[in-house]
Homo-oligomer: A and B are copies of this chain.
């Protein structure tokens, strides 16, 4: 659907975390990631060649992918000017922003003039049903976080990679724009109308072989005041058999909420189990995925060992050390 390869648009990202879309594409589809485009005041860097649009076209790039997610989604005048230049240079544009490319008249008219495509992957492409709650065949794993942006998507992608390498049946099920840009399929859950959220998750994870695992991409956090409703819909629509706790130990406060602290892993475990048991009484918390990117090697290994011992389940950083222990836990079920 979206033509590859990509130039990753980092815009004026205030920090690396704001560019997690670009980071995800680069990490999981490096073969698509030819270069990056950064504006002044950009504080993100994918360590890809910086390219202007003409250089990207000359290098074979087909699509400029918006790799930076603004809070609430917002296309500024500065962004718009660059996107028009990209279309003029010969690039399609793909975006997961709340503010749609196709709602910006200048982008639509220039794309039409130039014969370019605008892809808004956030727009739900399906009329999702209201959730039925009916038990489905096959198995499902969901990562729930102590906060937003703690590595839930990476965890699911790393588990899928490890499971496929072991010959297990597994499918990463994307629920966000980055995952959809990576895999080309999924449900843009945060853009779904409230009544249909859980139904969209059911739609995404249908009946399957008894030994097949859906690795459902988590969103938000049950403890994040802005997005907890989305997480709840994942827990109840996903009917998980296995939950993974996802955590980033160096956070000073909940992302975007300076007055809020992360829950402990014990609190998250207990709350997630209470809620998940509503739809699957046999659900288990099987492992912990720790994002150790801001920890030294010693800090990370010590933290993982201590946490696994304290919680009585495997703990790993799937990006740094692989998802093996988490997949072992699923195999043992």
Contacts and interface: CB of A to CB of B under 8 A. Distances in A.
Interface of A: 71-72, 98, 129-135, 189-195, 197-199, 222-223, 225-233, 235-237, 254, 257, 259-260, 263, 271, 274-275, 278-279
Given A192-B194, A199-B226, A228-B233, 5 more contacts: A190-B193, A194-B230, A195-B230, A222-B232, A222-B275
A196 to B, nearest CB: 9
8 contacts: A131-B226, A194-B230, A197-B229, A198-B225, A222-B275, A225-B236, A225-B237, A229-B233
Contacts of A189: 194
A112 to B, nearest CB: 23
Contacts of A134: 259
Contacts of A199: 226
A233 B231 CA distance: 10
Contacts of A225: 131, 133, 198, 236-237, 278-279
Copies in the complex: 2
Nearest to A198: B226
A194 B254 CA distance: 19
A72 B228 contact: no
A194 B198 contact: no
Nearest to A197: B229
A228 B223 contact: no
Contact of A133 (B193, B198, B229, B260): B260
A274 to B, nearest CB: 6
Contact of A226 (B132, B135, B190, B275): B132
A192 B271 CA distance: 26
Contacts of A230: 194-195, 229
A223 B278 CA distance: 6
B191 A193 contact: yes
Nearest to A133: B225
A188 to B, nearest CB: 9
Contacts of A71: 130
A332 B199 CA distance: 41
Among A133, A226, A263, residue most surrounded by chain B Cβ atoms (within 10 Å): A226
B133 A227 contact: no
A66 B195 CA distance: 19
A273 to B, nearest CB: 11
Contacts of A228: 198, 232-233, 235-236, 275, 278
A228 to B, nearest CB: 5
Nearest to A274: B271
Contacts of A237: 225
B195 A133 contact: no
Contacts of A271: 274-275
Nearest to A260: B133
5 shortest interchain CB distances as A-B pairs: A229-B233, A133-B225, A232-B232, A229-B229, A190-B195
